[in-house]
Amino acid sequence: MRHILGTDNLGRDIFSRLVLGSFYSMSIAFLSVLFAGIIGGFLGGLAGYFEGYLDEFLLFLSETLMSIPAILITLGIIVLFRAGFYSITLAIFILYTPRCIHFVRALVKQEKHKNYIKMAKIYGVGDFRILFRHIGPNIFLPILVNFSTNFAGAILTEAALGYLGFGIQPPYPTLGNMLNQSQSYFLIAPCFTIAPGFVIIILVYRMNKISKTYQEKHR
């Protein structure tokens, strides 16, 4: 069979576009969550360990960003940089960085009061060494689980933005804009709509399953 899933309204192979669209969607989700985890984790670690004015400022900044509707942040980024791979990655990065700050901040605050940290301070170990060499490895697993959960959420976010027309623009495919283009043909070509929706469900399910497996294995 030449076209496994058929063709779209313009005669393009749906399976090929599905593979390429999955690559674009997952790349955007992965890069945005990765950089959000690195930068948000670093800032959250500093806020949780040192507290004081730095903690208050980062907490205020992250809560302010989290209070702004995601669609407004996305529209602002698109107005400044136009819709595209990098602008959507930046928008999702901005959406997830405050969450990472909050998450890592809470982990560090809980960890820094344990006895092994108190002993390290007694022996004169520096603050940054304690934070990155002692606390960091002990909170890595929860951060990894959080990354998996955020990755699943970022895939959904990218798909939603693409469906609304704010993602990567045609002719480049993403799972979201494939859903957008196929909605008018659902009754006459259901596979055109079902295929990208099914891939989104599978990707999100698998990432959440990985996250749950890690949690249960190391509980």
For the chain, give the mean pLDDT: 88
Q: Which of 29-43, 106-120, 172-186 has the highest mean pLDDT?
A: 29-43
| Domain residue extents for the chain | 14-217
Cβ atoms of residues 152 and 203 within 8 Å? yes
How far is it, in rounded angstroms, from Cα 169 to Cα 30? 19
Name the percent of the chain lying above pLDDT 70.
Answer: 98
**pLDDT band per the 50, 70, 90 thresholds, residue 44:** very high
**Domain covering 14-217: architecture:** Orthogonal Bundle (1.10)
| Per-residue pLDDT at 48 exceeds 60 | yes
Average pLDDT over residues 186-196: 82
| Per-residue pLDDT at 3 exceeds 80 | no
How far is it, in rounded angstroms, from Cα 181 to Cα 132? 47
Query: What sign results for the dihedral spanned by CA atoms 51, 112, 36, 98?
Result: negative
How far is it, in rounded angstroms, from Cα 38 to Cα 119? 28
**For 55-95, how does the pLDDT look when each residue is reduced to its tens digit (9 = 90+)?**
999 999 999 988 988 888 888 888 888 888 999 999 999 99
**For 206-218, how does the pLDDT look when each residue is reduced to its tens digit (9 = 90+)?**
888 888 887 776 5
DSSP one-letter string for 5-54? T-B-TTS-BHHHHHHHHHHHHHHHHHHHHHHHHHHHHHHHHHHHHH-HHH
User: Whole-model pTM?
Assistant: 0.88
**For 137-189, how does the pLDDT look when each residue is reduced to its tens digit (9 = 90+)?**
889 989 998 999 999 999 999 999 888 888 888 788 888 888 888 887 777 87
| Per-residue pLDDT at 1 exceeds 60 | no
**For 11-30, how does the pLDDT look when each residue is reduced to its tens digit (9 = 90+)?**
788 888 899 999 999 999 99
pLDDT value at residue 218: 59
| Per-residue pLDDT at 219 exceeds 70 | no
Q: Give the DSSP letter of residue 185.
A: G
pLDDT value at residue 171: 82
